């Protein structure tokens, strides 16, 4: 029982520390504290933005990438929601995080609902991001509902299809079954 209890406590501590990674990431981006954001990644950690690019890996490259992306927005508020974490072993885990982001883009206020697919690694007793893959359900101006197709509606760009929810294998299977009988 004691050994089992110890394992359960260790697992719960890992889950809570990993959960805090997502919150610290959001707070770091909103504060534009890029040093804090980069410090949440392993040395060769990777952030993959949007549509499956290889992403950017490593401290200075990550910092340069965030410096570009975060300068697009005068202001932002990231609200972290659902977070599912699966512990793979003592030093590896993976998970999914929902995040709603409101941000000022030039003269416009935008809103997006994002989904992160994460891989986590533990080094020297501390959990870090090994990889974050970002996808969006929608991106639109605050006063424009993202109903219908082409839900990525960045100001001054052609509207695009969103990655989520079609990226999930269960999504198409669900709809292929047709309406309820």
Does residue 146 lie within any of the structural domains?
Answer: yes
CATH of the domain at 98: 3.10.450.50
Task: Kindly state whether residue 162 falls inside one of the protein's structural domains.
Answer: yes
Mean pLDDT value across residues 124-141 = 92
Q: In the prediction, which pLDDT does 81 show?
A: 95
- The Cα 25–Cα 41 span in angstroms is 10
Indicate if the alpha-carbon torsion angle 175, 84, 100, 39 is positive or negative: negative
Domain range for 22 is: 2-176
Whether the CB-CB separation of 137 and 82 falls below 8 Å is answered with no
Predicted confidence band of residue 2 (pLDDT cuts 50, 70, 90): low
Inside any domain, residue 181? no
Three-state SS string over the chain comes to CHHHHHHHHHHHHHHHHHHHHHHHHHHHHHHCCHHHHHCCEEEEEEEECCCCCCCEECHHHHHHHHHHHHHCCCEEEEEEEEEEEEEEECCEEEEEEEEEEEEEECCEEEEEEEEEEEEEEEECCEEEEEEEEEEEEEEEECCCCCCCCCCECCCCCCCECCCCCCCCHHHHHHHHCCCCC
The answer to whether position 72 is within a domain reads yes
**Using CA atoms, how far apart are residues 121 and 165, in angstroms rounded to an integer?**
27
Predicted confidence (pLDDT) per residue in 5-55, tens digit: 999 999 999 999 999 999 999 999 999 988 999 999 998 887 776 555 566
Residue 92 lies in a domain: yes
Assigned domain for 90 exists? yes
Q: How confident is the model at residue 145 (pLDDT cuts 50, 70, 90)?
A: confident
pLDDT at 27: 94
pLDDT in tens, 60-72: 888 888 888 888 8
Residue 107 lies in a domain: yes
Average pLDDT, the chain: 87
What domain count does the chain have? 1
Q: Is residue 119 domain-resident?
A: yes
pTM above 0.85, yes or no: no
């Amino acid at each position: 029982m004691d050994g089992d209890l110890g394992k359960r406590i260790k697992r719960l501590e890992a889950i809570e520390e990993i959960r805090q990674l997502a919150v610290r990431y959001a707070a770091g981006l909103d504060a534009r504290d890029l040093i804090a954001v980069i410090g949440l990644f392993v040395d060769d950690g990777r952030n993959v933005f949007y549509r499956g690019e290889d992403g950017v890996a490593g401290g200075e490259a990550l910092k340069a990438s965030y410096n570009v992306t975060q300068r697009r927005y005068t202001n932002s508020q990231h609200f972290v929601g659902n977070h599912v974490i699966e512990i793979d072993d003592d030093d590896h885990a993976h998970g999914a995080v929902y995040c709603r982001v409101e941000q000022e883009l030039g003269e416009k206020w935008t809103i997006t609902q994002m989904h992160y697919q994460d891989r986590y690694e533990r080094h020297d007793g501390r959990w870090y991001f090994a990889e974050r893959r970002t996808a969006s359900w929608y991106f639109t101006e605050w006063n424009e509902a993202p109903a219908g197709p082409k839900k990525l509606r960045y100001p001054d760009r052609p509207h695009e299809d969103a990655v989520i929810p079609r990226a999930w294998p269960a999504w198409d299977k669900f709809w292929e079954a047709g309406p309820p009988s």
